[in-house]
Amino acid sequence: MKFTKFGKALLMGVLSVGVVYGVSSCIRTYSVGFLYVTTTVTAQPNGEGQITGYKIEHNAGGLTKINGLPISSGGANPVRAVLTQASRFVYVLNRGANAAGTGNCTTAAPCQNPNITLFAVGGNGILTPQQTYYTQGINPFRIAVDSSGGFLYVLDHDSPSSAACQAALGSSVTACGDVTAFSINGTTGRLSLIQNQQVNIGGVPLTYFPVPANPVDFLLTPSNILTLTSASAQTSFPYTGGSQVFPYGVNGSTGQLTLSISTPQSLGITQGNAIVMASGIVYVLDNEPITYTSSGTSKTAASQILPFTIGSSGSLQAQTGGIVPDDPTLSNPIQLMVESKGKFLYVANQGNNTTGNNPNSGIAAYLINSSPSYQLTFIPGEPFGSGSGPQCIVEDPSSQYIFTANQYDSTITGRVLDPNSGVLNAMRVSSTYSLPGPASWCFIDGRTN
């Protein structure tokens, strides 16, 4: 078969197009997961919060909104959300609003209409509301799900009964908070209340688990629930002033909580605001000054990080020489994350409660020493920028990008994670995305279909 000169030229052109198309196909982008953010202020007439979702692009970390989102969170002031292990269900904790319609609920003016809204996760990351559930206490503000996806726990700031507080924690106790526990139906995602088998009131099992007054945060570990509480009254959200920890044992088969001690453990601090676990170490974030030495120079940081291991009955064992300063230019640490390979640790700092430029907001970054693992060293070049007032920090499923969702400027901020140095670099694409309202929480789904 012979070709004319024109035919040969045409054939070469077609082949060239095919080669170019083939090369471009090899670098075609795809989603590595979904990023969801709850926001607290919307233009909706019913005052409900929203859930916004984005596809995370593999090649550069860019975000594209998921079709059909944002949607209502199911109530006012969503404060936390959790995804079950199989990525099938999302539970959003809506704190509700006080009588004035704001989220500044107090013990005297509690939140009205708080709830837990269940969403099913569908194809392409779409969320569909299913059912609504309610805690047994007042002013709920934290939610956690166990690693099996079988049990869900909610921390209520105020218990509805002082008699129950006394029955569980001692006759001298006049007020307390509580944990409401649920079992999760693995097929439907529906919640069923777990009754307290240790405490009976009038011959009837209590429907919640009392914890000391003024809870600030809680942590669910494989064997315990650890509640960070304040020794002084904390009546207004967000709660701060954590100074002690109170443990419950967790039955991994039934979800039942077992009280092993009646008094909380003092941590020797007064301004703890978060308790988290990463790589087997429990960290308490404490928003009070610490003096330390760096390169032979005495320095002061506005806040600190305290590492602990868990002992018997949920007691915390302080690690000698383990306390490390937060970055001295930042303040108000709110969340901590260890990246997937366990080499680097990052702390999101809210900074000052202000819009616009917020020099005290940002990400402190640490190298995790191999031995002992709780000792941390600042990564050169940190702190790394975020939006104003980050509420959460997450890593994408491909371990390439770090995102924060920010309260004071209603944005998402993304950075590229250097796997060798831990440095968080600027993205090649846009690194800031606007939200429909102030961010309250964020989470990642690694399932993309």
Instruction: Dump the DSSP string for 42-82.
Output: -S-TT---EEEEEEEETTT--EEEPTT--EE-SSSSEEEEE
Q: How far apart are CA 322 and CA 281, in angstroms?
A: 11
Residue 11 has pLDDT above 90, yes or no: no
Residue 244 has pLDDT above 80, yes or no: yes
Q: How far apart are CA 66 and CA 351, in angstroms?
A: 30
Q: Please compute Rg for the chain using Cα positions.
A: 24
Residue 21 has pLDDT above 70, yes or no: no
Residue 26 has pLDDT above 70, yes or no: no
Query: In 3D, which of 145, 165, 163, 167 has the Cα closest to residue 154?
Result: 145
Residue 295 has pLDDT above 60, yes or no: yes
Q: How far apart are CA 169 and CA 173, in angstroms?
A: 7
Average pLDDT over residues 426-447: 93
Residue 106 buriedness (CB in 10 A; 0-12 / 13-18 / 19+): middle
Average pLDDT over residues 393-405: 97
- Greater confidence, 119 or 447? 119
Average pLDDT over residues 214-241: 93
Residue 15 has pLDDT above 50, yes or no: no
Query: CB–CB of 415/384 below 8 Å?
Result: yes
- Mean pLDDT across the chain, nearest whole number? 90
Average pLDDT over residues 263-269: 95
Residue range 166-201, pLDDT digits in tens: 999 999 999 999 999 999 999 999 999 999 999 999
Query: CB–CB of 151/184 below 8 Å?
Result: yes
pLDDT of residue 20: 43
- Residue at 178: amino acid letter: D
Average pLDDT over residues 52-75: 95
Q: What is the CB-side half-sphere exposure of residue 192 using CA atoms within 13 A?
A: 9
Q: How far apart are CA 232 and CA 238, in angstroms?
A: 14
Average pLDDT over residues 29-50: 83
Residue range 120-155, pLDDT digits in tens: 999 999 999 999 999 999 999 999 999 999 999 999
Q: How far apart are CA 416 and CA 386, in angstroms?
A: 12
Residue 16 has pLDDT above 60, yes or no: no
Average pLDDT over residues 332-349: 95
Q: How far apart are CA 388 and CA 406, in angstroms?
A: 6
Binning pLDDT at 50, 70 and 90, where does residue 90 land? very high
Lowest-confidence pick of 37-51, 358-372, 380-394:
37-51
The separation between the first and the last C-alpha atoms of the chain, rounded to the nearest angstrom, is 48
Residue 352 has pLDDT above 90, yes or no: no
pLDDT of residue 143: 98
Residue 344 has pLDDT above 70, yes or no: yes
Query: In 3D, which of 349, 243, 338, 326 has the Cα closest to residue 281?
Result: 338
Record the pTM.
0.91
- Greater confidence, 443 or 100? 443
Q: What percent of the chain has pLDDT over 70?
A: 91
Average pLDDT over residues 53-77: 95
